[in-house]
């Protein structure tokens, strides 16, 4: 009786197996797609003039697949992705639209140097600019730090010999 109910609901042994296989594949593949780090630019200070974004970026590692989140009051600032010379001169690129939502999320899709500025007059000159270096994504998990124990199970204890 139950077997007929399962088959009527489309739950044949083959479909249950297929759902299991799809689940296993999702568990194996999806974590790699979502392992990027989200970097809140400026942390609690957000994206504003007068903040030292070089100091903020120092010591952080940016990798392909990570995201930068620029938070600021919408309408007061924006974010332009620029070239090195545009960054140095605080030059807004021609024929380019800025990110301007107030909560801009930019995915780091390629390795190399990346430059960002605020295009509002005078803001870049007051330090509202960021330069980072993006490294390759990590293909394998990092090895344990020195002094840490790896997460491997301990060997099973030997059977006790009670004089038998």
- What is the b/e burial string over 28-66, where b = at least 16 CB atoms within 10 angstroms of the residue's CB? eeeeeeeebeebebbeeebbbbebebeebbeeeebebbb
- Whether residue 157 is predicted with pLDDT greater than 60 in this model: the reply is no
Predicted confidence at residue 138, as pLDDT, reads 79
- Element holding 89 (H helix, E strand): helix 84-89
Please report, to the nearest 10 degrees, the dihedral formed by the alpha carbons of residues 57, 124, 116, 95 taken in order: 180
- Element holding 20 (H helix, E strand): helix 13-33
Residues pairing with 132 in the sheet:
114
Q: Reply yes or no on domain 38-135 having CATH 2.60.40.420.
A: yes
Each residue of 22-32: pLDDT tens digit? 444 444 444 44
- Whether residue 7 is predicted with pLDDT greater than 60 in this model: the reply is no
Predicted confidence at residue 149, as pLDDT, reads 44
Domain boundaries, the chain: 38-135
Each residue of 68-114: pLDDT tens digit? 999 999 999 999 999 999 999 999 999 999 999 999 999 999 999 99
CB 132 within 8 A of CB 114: yes
Question: Mean pLDDT across the stretch 6-32?
Answer: 51
Q: d(Cα 77, Cα 92) in Å, to the nearest integer?
A: 13
Phi and psi torsions of 83, nearest 5°? -90, 170
Three-state SS at 103: strand
C-beta atoms surrounding 81 within 10 Å: 16
Q: Angle 73-121-87 (CA atoms, 0-180°, nearest 5)?
A: 95
């Amino acid at each position: 009786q139950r077997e007929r109910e399962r088959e009527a609901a489309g739950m044949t042994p083959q479909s249950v197996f297929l759902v299991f296989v799809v689940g296993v594949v999702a568990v194996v593949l999806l974590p790699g797609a979502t392992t990027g780090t989200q970097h809140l630019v400026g942390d609690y200070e957000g994206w504003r003039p007068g903040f030292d974004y070089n100091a903020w970026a120092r010591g952080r590692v940016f990798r392909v697949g990570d995201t930068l989140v620029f938070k600021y009051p919408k309408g007061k600032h924006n974010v332009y992705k620029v070239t090195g010379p545009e960054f140095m001169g605080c030059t807004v690129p021609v024929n380019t639209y800025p990110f301007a939502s107030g909560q801009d999320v930019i995915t780091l899709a390629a390795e190399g140097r990346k430059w960002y500025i605020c295009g509002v007059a005078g803001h870049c000159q007051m330090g509202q600019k960021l330069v980072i270096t993006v490294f390759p994504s990590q293909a394998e998990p990092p090895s344990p730090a020195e002094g840490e124990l790896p997460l491997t199970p301990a060997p099973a204890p030997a059977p006790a010999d009670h004089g038998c």
